[in-house]
Structure 1
Amino acid sequence: MIDRDGLADFLRRRRALVRPADVGLPDGVRRRTPGLRREEVALLAGVSTDHYTRLEQARGSAPSAQVVKAIARALQCDEDQRDHLYYLAGMTPPPRRGHVRPGLIALANRLTDLPVVICTDLGEVVFFNPLAELLLAHLVGEGERGSNMVWRWFTDPAFRAMPEEDWPRISAAHVSDLRATYARRSGDSDVTSLVEDLLAASEEFRGLWEQHEVGVRRADRKTFLHPRVGAVTVRCEVLVTEGHEVQLLAYFPAEGTDAAEKLELLGVIGTQAFS
Structure 2
Amino acid sequence: MSSSTPLGEFLRARREGLKPQDVGLPEYGRRRVKGLRREEVAMLAGMSGDYYVRLEQGRESSPSPQVIEAVARALLLDDDASDHLRRLARPREFRFRRPVQAQVSPQLLRLMDGFAHSPAFALGPALDILAGNAMAGALHEDFSPADNLARMVFCDPAGREFYREWERAAHSCVAALRAAYGHDPDSARIAEVVAGLSAQSAEFADLWGRHEVKSKTQEVKHLRHPRVGDLHIQFSAFTVNGAPDQQLVVYQAEPAGPTAAAFQRLAERAGTARAQKITTG
Q: TM-score, normalised by structure 1?
A: 0.58
1:149 to 2:154 alignment: no
- The question of whether the paired residues in 2 share the 8 Å contact of 1:116 and 1:249 is answered with yes
Question: Closer, same or farther in 2 for the Cα pair 1:139/1:100, shift >3 Å?
Answer: same
Q: What is the alpha-carbon distance in structure 2 between the residues aligned to residue 175 and residue 248 of structure 1?
A: 18
Partner of 2:220: 221
Q: What is the alpha-carbon distance in structure 1 between the residues aligned to residue 100 and residue 168 of structure 2?
A: 32
Partner of 1:249: 249
Question: Closer, same or farther in 2 for the Cα pair 1:186/1:109, shift >3 Å?
Answer: same
- The question of whether the paired residues in 2 share the 8 Å contact of 1:124 and 1:149 is answered with yes
Question: Closer, same or farther in 2 for the Cα pair 1:262/1:206, shift >3 Å?
Answer: same
Partner of 1:127: 131
Post-superposition Cα deviations, 1:167-202, rounded to whole Å, max 9, x if no partner, equal: 111111111111111121111211112112222222
Post-superposition Cα deviations, 1:49-99, rounded to whole Å, max 9, x if no partner, equal: xxxxxxxxxxxxxxxxxxxxxxxxxxxxxxxxxxxxxxxxxxxxxx86232
Q: What is the alpha-carbon distance in structure 2 between the residues aligned to residue 256 and residue 209 of structure 1?
A: 39
Partner of 2:203: 204
Q: What is the alpha-carbon distance in structure 2 between the residues aligned to residue 205 and residue 260 of structure 1?
A: 33
Q: Alignment partner of 1:100: what SS?
A: coil
1:258 to 2:261 alignment: no
1:236 to 2:235 alignment: yes
1:72-221 paired onto structure 2 within 5 Å:
97-141=101-145, 147-162=147-162, 164=164, 166-221=165-220
Q: How many corresponding residue pairs?
A: 176
1:21-32 paired onto structure 2 within 5 Å:
none
Question: Closer, same or farther in 2 for the Cα pair 1:188/1:271, shift >3 Å?
Answer: closer
C-alpha displacement at 1:252, in angstroms? 0.5
- Any unmatched runs of 5+ in structure 2? 1-98, 277-281
Structure 2: which amino acid aligns with 1:263? Answer: F
Structure 1: which amino acid aligns with 2:263? Answer: L
- The question of whether the paired residues in 1 share the 8 Å contact of 2:198 and 2:204 is answered with yes
Q: TM-score, normalised by structure 2?
A: 0.57
C-alpha displacement at 1:105, in angstroms? 0.6
Question: Closer, same or farther in 2 for the Cα pair 1:218/1:133, shift >3 Å?
Answer: same
Q: Alignment partner of 1:160: what SS?
A: helix
Question: Closer, same or farther in 2 for the Cα pair 1:248/1:175, shift >3 Å?
Answer: same
Structure 2: which amino acid aligns with 1:135? Answer: L
- Any unmatched runs of 5+ in structure 1? 1-94
Identity %: 26
Post-superposition Cα deviations, 1:100-147, rounded to whole Å, max 9, x if no partner, equal: 111001111111121111121211112121122222232242xxxx61
CA RMSD of the aligned region, Å? 2.2
Q: Alignment partner of 1:236: what SS?
A: strand
- The question of whether the paired residues in 2 share the 8 Å contact of 1:98 and 1:245 is answered with no
Question: Closer, same or farther in 2 for the Cα pair 1:226/1:245, shift >3 Å?
Answer: same
Report the structure number with the largest CA radius of gyration.
2
Structure 2: which amino acid aligns with 1:118? Answer: A
- The question of whether the paired residues in 1 share the 8 Å contact of 2:144 and 2:156 is answered with no
Q: Alignment partner of 1:137: what SS?
A: coil
